C-alpha cells in the first residue's frame, strides 16, 4: 500500500490543480504565477506559502470566521472579492475544492459557457 503524504500542498500542486480546469491558462500577475479563465484571474500565488483566490464576498466572510488559521484578508484585499489561503494549513483535497470554487465563481461572472477539459473532447 502506498504511503499517503501529509506534506502541505506546494505551488506545483496549485499549478497542477488549476491547469486541470477547463480553459485555464497560467500568466504572470504582479510577478507571480496567476491562473485565468476567459482571461479573468481566479487565483494567484503570493509566495511559497500563500495564494489568493477570488470568492463570493459573503462566502469569504464565513471562510475567514470559520477557519482563520487557513483563510485571511489583509487590508489591501478588504475591498475586493479575494481571500488569502495559507497552504501549510490545507490538504490537497481542500485546496482542490478552494480552487474549484474560485474557478467557478470567476467563470460564472464571464457569462460564457466553459467546455470541460477531457481527453474525449478531441474528435478524430
pLDDT mean over 69-75: 97
Residue 46 CA to residue 57 CA, distance in Å, equals 20
C-alpha count within 13 angstroms, C-beta hemisphere, residue 3: 3
Can you say how many angstroms the Cα of residue 70 is from the centroid of all Cα atoms in its chain?
14
Looking at the DSSP bridge assignments, the partners of residue 45 are 51
Q: Residue 34: count other Cβ atoms within 10 Å of its Cβ.
A: 19
pTM: 0.83
C-alpha cell at 106: 470567476
Percentage of the chain modeled with pLDDT above 70: 84
Q: Closest by alpha carbon to 50, among 16, 26, 74?
A: 74
Domains of the chain as residue ranges with CATH: 11-107 (3.90.1150.30)
Confidence class of residue 9 from pLDDT cuts 50, 70 and 90? very high
Please provide the average confidence, as pLDDT, over all residues in the chain: 87
Angle at the Cα of 96 from the Cα atoms of 92 and 101, rounded to 5 degrees: 150
Amino acid at each position: 500500500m502506498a504511503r499517503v503524504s501529509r506534506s502541505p500542498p506546494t505551488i506545483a500542486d496549485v499549478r497542477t490543480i488549476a491547469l486541470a480546469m477547463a480553459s485555464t491558462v497560467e500568466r504572470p500577475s504582479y510577478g507571480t504565477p496567476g491562473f485565468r479563465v476567459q482571461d479573468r484571474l481566479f487565483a494567484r500565488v503570493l509566495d511559497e506559502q500563500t495564494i489568493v483566490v477570488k470568492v463570493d464576498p459573503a462566502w469569504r466572510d464565513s471562510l475567514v470566521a470559520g477557519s482563520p488559521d487557513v483563510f485571511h484578508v489583509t487590508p489591501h484585499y478588504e475591498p475586493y472579492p479575494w481571500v488569502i489561503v495559507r497552504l501549510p494549513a490545507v490538504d490537497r483535497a481542500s485546496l482542490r475544492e478552494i480552487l474549484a470554487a474560485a474557478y467557478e465563481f470567476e467563470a460564472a461572472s464571464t457569462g460564457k459557457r466553459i467546455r470541460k477539459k477531457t481527453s474525449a473532447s478531441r474528435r478524430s
